[in-house]
A = this chain, B = another copy of it.
Amino acid sequence: MTTTQKTPQPKTQDELVDSITQLYAARDLSAITHELEPLHAQDIIPVFERLNDKQRAVVYRLLPKDQAAEVFEILDPALQSDLLHGLQDAEVAQLFVDLDHDDRLWLLDEVPAALATRLLRGLPEEERVLTSALLGYPQGSVGRRMSLEYVSTRASFTVAETLERVRGRLDDAETVYTIPVLDDSRHVVGVVSLRELLAADEATVVSEMMSQVHTAEAIEEAEQAARRCADRALLAMPIVDRENRLVGMLTIDDAIRILELEESEDAARQGGTEPLRRPYLSTPVGALVRSRVIWLLVLAVGATLTVQVLSVFEATIEQVTVLALFVPLLIGTGGNTGNQAATTVTRALALGDVGSRDFWRVLTRELRTGAMLGLLLGALGFAIAAIAFSPEIGLVIGLTLLAVCTLAAAVGGCMPLLARAVKVDPAVFSNPFISTFVDALGLIIYFLIARSVLGL
């Protein structure tokens, strides 16, 4: 964007949103067209995310046809689905036909089943066969996210023959820079890049110049395949069936999109909410509540454990009320230590830096880390509480911090690995969950230490 480069990006975006909202309020529709027409489709997205359903449908219709199609294509699938409700059936069918196979799948995952069936039925026969083929792969698999518009070559072809094939597909293939090499039974045996082809002698046989290939099986988890594609900086990765025959290509932009969604999901789960699956500002408040209430209830029920633990020690609290003063500090510190460990290990899992087999390694590391942190905080806690209250109270606080930190780090570090081992998203067992668990355990430790040190 050469023109907007001079002013800072966000301001321009903000001004645009303001201006569109004002023009909309003033019902100056032609001015809206005028304002949006010269923009990149990508720059119109923030406007769409900030409009409500009705406004969005109106503004969408104000865009010139080509631009509208472009905007629709890169819009968040959840918003695509919303938008469809505001449009005529014929328009909807046309939009759907114009999408690539893989983009169609993103949208089909969002819309109600009845609409999905109707949309599929509206496709020309040939397109429907292809889209249905993708739908045959399990939800969450890379097969659903792959592109079917690629160029492949044969190991026995020459560079010239391969370039000829590429030239024939320049207009419609989604990816032409990475070209999988097949044997006579469509098995993927290597890969060549367009760049290598251009640099090579035209008479060279492909099998002599192809490189080793990274593939993913179509039924593999999309996240895993996307991570591999991104880590290895592949512009596109061949997707194969069980027999290693080519069935599609995962392009880097789809890989990025998959990973972004997964990271949003991890981030959400770590904060104890369900992922929104759509931009924040276009999420109705009711949906925000729904994304949070389940976890909040689960955690609140878990937290009643702490009420029960405390009621067991009610007599102790009555005897030494000062013990109650430290409850939030102690469980807070335990929760924080547990969260730190869980966060670190969850991220390491997502990046593939640790796996279930590293369980003992992680446990030992976290026990040591927790103990060192506990010693430090415990010494400090002892000093402060001893001065402010009494040496006995200081001892109770110090010992509890040591025990709670060690325990919390170990629990926090191991939970995500256990979750992965039982095939649950590691982020689910993460922060708030661990806090609640460690809270109850920490309180028991606290009062047991207090009883024995204070001789109650």
Q: A217-B5, A303-B332, A340-B271 given as contacts; is B189 within 8 A of A170 (CB)?
A: no
Q: Judge whether A77 is part of the interface by a CB distance below 8 angstroms.
A: no
How far, in whole Å, are A3 and B431 apart by their CA atoms in the complex? 39
Question: What is the size, in residues, of chain A's interface with B at 8 Å between Cβ atoms?
Answer: 124
A374 to chain B, nearest CB (A): 10
Chain B CB within 10 Å, residue with most, of A176, A228, A271: A271
Q: A42-B232, A270-B267 given as contacts; is B280 within 8 A of A344 (CB)?
A: yes
Q: Judge whether A129 is part of the interface by a CB distance below 8 angstroms.
A: no
Pair B306/A329 contact, Cβ less than 8 Å: yes
Q: Mark A301-328, 1 if CB is under 8 A from B, else 0.
A: 0011011001100100110011011111
Chain B residues lying within 8 Å of A297, measured Cβ to Cβ, are 376-377, 380
How far, in whole Å, are A273 and B291 apart by their CA atoms in the complex? 26
Which B residue sits closest to A288, measured CB to CB? Answer: B369
Pair A296/B231 contact, Cβ less than 8 Å: no
Interface residues of A in 333-379 (CB under 8 A from B): 333, 335-337, 339-340, 342-348, 351-355, 357-358, 361-362, 365, 368-369, 372-373, 376-377
Question: At the interface with chain B, which of A111-119, A120-128, A130-138, A256-264?
Answer: A256-264
Q: Judge whether A75 is part of the interface by a CB distance below 8 angstroms.
A: no
Chain B residues lying within 8 Å of A240, measured Cβ to Cβ, are 5
Pair B288/A336 contact, Cβ less than 8 Å: no
Pair B343/A273 contact, Cβ less than 8 Å: yes
A434 to chain B, nearest CB (A): 10
Pair A198/B328 contact, Cβ less than 8 Å: no
How far, in whole Å, are A253 and B324 apart by their CA atoms in the complex? 54
Pair B46/A352 contact, Cβ less than 8 Å: yes
Question: At the interface with chain B, which of A23-31, A54-62, A92-100, A207-215?
Answer: A207-215
Chain B residues lying within 8 Å of A400, measured Cβ to Cβ, are none
Interface residues of A in 288-304 (CB under 8 A from B): 288-289, 291-293, 295-297, 299-300, 303-304
Interface residues of A in 247-276 (CB under 8 A from B): 252-253, 256, 260, 263-264, 266-268, 270-273, 276
Pair A443/B345 contact, Cβ less than 8 Å: no
Pair B344/A276 contact, Cβ less than 8 Å: yes
Pair B328/A310 contact, Cβ less than 8 Å: yes
A369's partner among B13, B289, B339 (CB-CB below 8 A) is: B289
A264's partner among B300, B318, B347, B439 (CB-CB below 8 A) is: B347
The quantity of this chain's copies bound in the complex is 2
Pair B199/A1 contact, Cβ less than 8 Å: no
How far, in whole Å, are A426 and B384 apart by their CA atoms in the complex? 31
Q: A9-B224, A335-B435, A365-B288 given as contacts; is B344 within 8 A of A273 (CB)?
A: yes
Pair B271/A344 contact, Cβ less than 8 Å: yes
Chain B CB within 10 Å, residue with most, of A170, A230, A336, A431: A336
Q: Judge whether A194 is part of the interface by a CB distance below 8 angstroms.
A: yes
How far, in whole Å, are A169 and B52 apart by their CA atoms in the complex? 49
Of all A-B residue pairs in the complex, the 10 with the closest CB atoms, nearest first, are: A271-B343, A233-B253, A280-B348, A306-B328, A170-B199, A303-B329, A279-B353, A324-B324, A310-B325, A273-B340
Binding site for B on A (CB under 8 A): 1-2, 5, 9-10, 13-14, 40, 42, 46, 49-50, 166-167, 170-171, 176-177, 187-189, 194-195, 198-199, 212-215, 217, 224, 228, 230-233, 235, 240, 244, 252-253, 256, 260, 263-264, 266-268, 270-273, 276, 279-281, 285, 288-289, 291-293, 295-297, 299-300, 303-304, 306-307, 310-311, 314, 317-318, 321-322, 324-329, 331-333, 335-337, 339-340, 342-348, 351-355, 357-358, 361-362, 365, 368-369, 372-373, 376-377, 380-381, 384, 431-432, 435-436, 439, 443
Sample of 24 A–B contacts (CB below 8 Å): A1-B212, A2-B187, A2-B188, A5-B240, A9-B228, A40-B214, A268-B344, A270-B343, A273-B343, A280-B344, A281-B348, A295-B340, A296-B373, A297-B376, A300-B336, A303-B332, A306-B332, A310-B325, A310-B327, A317-B324, A318-B321, A328-B328, A328-B331, A328-B443
